[in-house]
Each structure stands twice: as structure tokens, then as C-alpha cells.
């Protein structure tokens, strides 16, 4: 497993260490990421909270957003090179080279831990999730591709029980299996850890090659293509023919106050309060 992480680190440093318009706040790609970043806004209204971003090897993009919104963030990744560049350019304030399976932090070191679009790259993601929850004090947040089933649109398939063969298994060039998440799987993780609450929100996203360099403009070619695809995906979602492509999942270590709960519901999060374990050893 060590070799897998070394390969992942080498791959990240090679790809992300190149000249890349990662800090172009006016690009279509930045608009895409901002849509996902806004999923954590209910937790950013109180300034100064301590955050850890995990797998933030895209030059600390997530940590940068949190800092811009008034949070105190440490960007972390298995590959340090992109984060070193980001700190030198004052894009982020703090970083730490971290193996997500074994974090060098004490229990409850951060109010919140965020992992955005990196969990599905980890060799053993569940171990990493346990670590995220361990080092968080209030909650850990995943923003990840949903394990959406690919099926033919027909009445028979629409009414049938899910067939596992309709899912597509993929691998990436860095060697990892693409480990996408699902609501039910994450609920089971929360039950296993005896957490009080888990929250969900889904949105759609679509990537087109070259969005990193196109300036955001509502008349722009790539922007218009993405918006068109998002409209189609939304129609299919409302017809119950598909699920959202991106899931935000919040694992609460303790039940938040009514103000936080109200903000989440106002932001269209679905709150799932977990049943108490009658045989708990606590």
C-alpha cells in the first residue's frame, strides 16, 4: 500500500507541478469549483473556525476559499510540491504534507475537515474517512462524485431493483480505483461510528476540457455547453431518471445547535438523524 501512495504522490507532483492556470479566479473552471465550495457556506458564517482540507493538492484551492471566507485553514495533500508553490505565491497561508490514512494530528484538532473531489482517489478511502472524523471536532465534510448507476432509460429499468452490473468500475492512470460514494454507504459508516447526524445535498457538475483557460462569460462557448448539460441533467433528476452527480455529505460528531440546523435546511440539505444503538458500549 505504501507503493500506491508513493505512486500517487509522484503522479500529483508531476501533473500539478506544471505551469497551470490554477489561480485564475475568472475562469469557467473556477466558477465550477465555486459552485461546490458554496456547499460549505453554512459553516463559514462564523469566522475563525479551524479547518483542515484533505487531498487539497490542486494548489490548496479549498483552503484558499475557506481563508477568503474568514476561516483558518491548513491545506494538506500527499504531494507537497503544489502546496509549496501556493504558499510562496501567498495563495494559501498554511500547508502540511499528509497521508490521509495516518494524519499527524491529535483527536479533534480542527472544527471541520473538508475533502473535496479527492476521496475517490485514495487507495483505502474508508480508512482515510475514519481519520478525517477522528481529527475533526464538530464535523467532517465530503464533496464527491456520486456513485450514479448507468442504465438504459426504459419503463422496465425504471421500475426494476438496482442491478449492480449497471455500475461502471473505473481505474485512473495513477493506479487507483475510482471509489465513488453513495448516501446509503455513508449512512452505514456513520452508524458504525455511532454518530448522531449525517446530512446530504446533491448538485450537478459537468467538466469540459479547456475550462481552466476560458474566461467566465455567460456568452462563452464552454460555459454555455456546461449550462446546457446541467439543464438536461436537472430535468432527468426531476423525472427521477437519475441522481445528482455530486454529493455533499456531512458527518456530525455532535448534534449542532438549532441555528446551524436551520441554516442547513434553508440551504436544502437533507438531515438524517441516526437511531441510537440500544446495545452501545458507551
Confidence of residue 109 (pLDDT cuts 50, 70, 90): very high
Q: What is the pLDDT of residue 151?
A: 47
pTM beyond 0.95: no
- 2-149+169-218+245-273: in CATH 3.40.50.150: yes
Is it the case that residue 153 has pLDDT exceeding 50? Answer: no
Alpha-carbon gap, residue 28 to 251, rounded angstroms: 30
Q: What is the DSSP string of 23-84?
A: T-TTBHHHHHHHHHHGGGGGGSSSTT-EEEEES-TTTSHHHHHHHHTT-EEEEEES--HHHH
Cell numbers linked to 151: 442504465
pLDDT in tens, 194-245: 999 999 999 999 999 989 889 999 999 999 999 999 999 999 999 988 899 9
Q: Which residues, at least 6 apart from 174, have a Cβ–Cβ distance to it below 8 Å?
A: 7, 8, 11, 12, 121
Alpha-carbon gap, residue 127 to 68, rounded angstroms: 30
Alpha-carbon gap, residue 165 to 241, rounded angstroms: 17
Residue 67 CA: distances (Å) to CA of 51, 94, 163, 196, 264: 9, 10, 43, 28, 21
Nearest-5° angle of CA 16, CA 87, CA 248? Answer: 65
Strands (E), the chain: 50-54, 72-77, 95-97, 110-116, 136-145, 197-203, 246-252, 270-273
Alpha-carbon gap, residue 66 to 198, rounded angstroms: 22
Q: Which residues, at least 6 apart from 257, have a Cβ–Cβ distance to it below 8 Å?
A: none
Alpha-carbon gap, residue 252 to 200, rounded angstroms: 11
Alpha-carbon gap, residue 5 to 174, rounded angstroms: 10
Q: What mean pLDDT comes out for the span 174-197? A: 91
pLDDT in tens, 237-264: 999 888 999 999 999 999 999 999 999 9
Going from N- to C-terminal start, the domains of the chain cover 2-149+169-218+245-273
Quickly list H helices, 136-182: 155-159
Q: What mean pLDDT comes out for the span 150-168? A: 50
Q: Which residues, at least 6 apart from 117, have a Cβ–Cβ distance to it below 8 Å?
A: 36, 55, 143, 144, 145
Is it the case that residue 135 has pLDDT exceeding 90? Answer: yes
Q: What is the pLDDT of residue 108?
A: 97
pLDDT in tens, 35-79: 999 999 999 988 999 999 999 988 999 999 999 999 999 999 998
Cell numbers linked to 40: 460549505
By three-state DSSP, how is residue 129 classified?
A: helix
Amino acid at each position: 500500500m505504501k507503493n500506491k501512495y508513493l505512486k500517487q504522490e509522484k503522479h500529483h507532483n508531476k501533473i500539478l507541478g506544471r505551469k497551470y492556470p490554477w489561480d485564475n479566479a475568472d475562469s469557467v473552471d473556477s466558477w465550477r469549483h465555486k459552485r461546490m465550495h458554496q456547499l460549505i457556506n453554512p459553516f463559514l458564517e462564523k469566522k475563525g473556525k479551524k479547518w483542515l482540507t484533505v487531498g487539497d493538492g490542486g494548489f490548496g484551492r479549498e483552503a484558499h476559499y475557506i481563508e477568503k471566507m474568514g476561516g483558518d485553514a491548513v491545506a494538506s495533500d500527499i504531494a507537497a510540491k503544489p502546496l509549496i508553490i501556493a504558499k510562496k505565491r501567498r495563495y494559501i497561508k498554511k500547508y502540511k504534507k499528509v497521508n490521509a490514512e495516518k494524519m499527524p494530528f491529535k483527536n479533534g484538532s480542527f472544527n471541520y475537515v473538508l475533502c473535496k473531489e479527492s476521496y475517490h482517489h485514495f487507495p483505502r478511502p474508508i480508512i482515510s474517512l475514519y481519520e478525517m472524523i477522528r481529527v475533526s471536532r464538530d464535523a467532517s465534510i465530503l464533496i464527491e462524485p456520486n456513485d450514479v448507476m448507468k442504465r438504459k432509460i426504459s419503463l422496465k429499468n425504471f421500475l426494476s431493483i438496482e442491478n449492480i452490473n449497471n455500475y461502471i468500475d473505473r481505474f485512473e492512470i495513477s493506479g487507483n480505483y475510482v471509489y465513488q460514494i453513495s448516501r446509503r454507504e455513508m449512512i452505514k459508516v456513520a452508524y458504525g461510528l455511532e454518530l448522531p447526524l449525517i446530512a446530504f445535498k446533491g448538485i450537478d457538475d459537468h467538466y469540459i476540457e479547456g475550462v481552466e483557460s476560458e474566461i467566465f462569460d455567460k456568452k462563452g462557448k464552454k460555459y454555455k455547453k456546461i449550462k446546457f448539460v446541467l439543464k438536461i441533467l436537472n430535468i432527468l433528476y426531476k423525472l427521477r431518471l437519475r441522481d445528482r452527480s455530486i454529493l455533499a455529505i456531512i458527518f456530525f460528531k455532535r448534534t449542532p445547535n438549532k441555528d446551524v440546523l436551520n441554516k442547513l435546511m434553508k440551504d436544502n440539505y437533507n438531515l438524517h438523524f441516526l437511531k441510537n444503538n440500544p446495545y452501545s458500549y458507551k
